[in-house]
Amino acid sequence: MEALRELERVQRVLSLMSSRGLCDTGSSGGGAAADRFLAQFLLFMVQPSESLTMENKFLLVSELLGKATPDTMEEVHHLTHLEGSHHLEADQNISSGALLQPNKKFKMHAEKSTIQAVPMVGFDAMTRAKSTLEDFCRSYFMFHGLDANNPQSIFKYLPVLSFTESYIYQLDASNEDSLNLIPDNRSSSKELERKKEAFDETSLSQMIEPLDSFLQNQGLMTDRLQTELKSGIQYWSLERKLCQALTRNEKISIDDVMKAIHLKSFDYRVLNLLMYQLTGQQVNELHMDFLSISEFLVEISDDLYDYEDDVINNTFNILRMFAAIYGPSEAPNMLAKCIGEAEEKYESFSKKLDPSLSGSCWRRCEEATKEGGKISGHAYGTWNIPSVISDEESFRRERTSKHDASTVII
């Protein structure tokens, strides 16, 4: 999460720079990269110091820049590489450069060195990603001719899959934080509003760039995979747009809702496309089409199961959206119709699969339904649409009051 907080800080400083006319005017030719450098420099300047005030630091840097030249910077750059690459990462942790370039590392290539963005994930994101990774291995490995019960198959591909999914979960959690309507004891209403403003589509694109670069460096990136990563940004942007519209009692579009529910499973498609790359196989379009319908039904099933929590947290949920569009009484009927049409497609596509693969898919559906403890689900499950909450704001207040009443202060 520290990487995300750092990006948020840079974004705030960039906004301040823009309002004060401090952005690069084009003389350096650096554009957006120059602005980011300046923002990181200002963040470095305000780092706490034991004896130097802000004014002291400003005067010191002003004097230094008056004496130093580009040649001086080249000499410093040369000196930092004389000790060899084995000292670089250790030096970075204690040098001022680490503050100017957070989450960066030096990488030696012959006589040249490059700076490469290092995506980072937190333990909480890894924990949240665990169940998705387990489900992916058990539900998708069969499409790659792999046995999910074989530890060797799992661990061969786990590093890339786990890292990618955890990074996506980390971004998803940050986006959902910006939607949360109920401030905790540490969050003020102004802070929540600031979070909402910080996570626009541009900032989300910047946050996913390190993952993009990581996959590029691993030789795994394809145009199709890149498109799916962009689908994630589109989903998060749509989620913010739709959920904020609900809180303002504004009309929402059924086209936006259906697009969002289809985009929501982008992480599974990212992992699946990575598997094709990792195993050196061509993408099987029939499998992708079948799994797209399966993902759609699973997302609806999860939304029905998490309906009340999603209302409380103001996150995307297809039943919430249908209720806003069609009204509380008609929403369940329209959603049931949508589910029925998708199930027909699911059965039609399953008949086109290899019989052994189709049988494995249906058995996996049965397992997932039983293990999840859900009575709503596709394939062998039974759908159960919960009662629609007509007044979400009252529901949130009631739940919050109950939670506060049950909290014991020691």
At residue 53, the 3 state secondary structure works out as: coil
Write the DSSP string, 285-320. HHHHHHHHHHHHHHHHHHHHHTHHHHHHHT---HHH
Q: How far apart are CA 61 and CA 340, in angstroms?
A: 67
Per-residue pLDDT of the chain (410 residues), as tens digits, is 566 667 667 777 777 777 777 776 665 556 677 777 888 888 888 887 767 888 888 888 888 888 888 777 777 766 665 444 444 444 444 333 333 333 443 343 433 333 344 567 889 999 999 999 999 999 999 999 999 999 999 999 999 999 999 999 988 887 777 666 544 444 455 555 555 555 555 677 788 888 999 999 999 999 999 999 999 999 999 999 999 999 999 999 999 999 999 999 999 999 999 999 999 999 999 999 999 999 999 999 999 999 999 999 999 999 999 999 999 999 999 999 999 999 999 999 999 999 999 999 989 988 887 776 654 444 545 789 999 999 999 999 988 887 666 654 54
How far, in Å, CA of 339 to CA of 166, rounded? 30
Full set of structural domains in the chain with CATH = 2-104 (no CATH), 123-406 (1.10.600)
Cα atoms in the Cβ-side hemisphere of radius 13 Å centred on 20:
9
* DSSP H or E stretch at residue 20: helix 2-20
* Continuous segment of H or E residues that includes residue 342: helix 331-350
Which is nearest to 343 in space by CA: 405, 290, 303, 393? Answer: 290
For residues 268 and 84, what is the distance between their CA atoms, to the nearest angstrom?
Answer: 41
R_g of the chain computed on alpha carbons: 25
Strand, coil or helix: 104? strand
Question: In 10 A of CB 383, how many CB atoms?
Answer: 18
pTM of the predicted model, to two decimals? Answer: 0.67
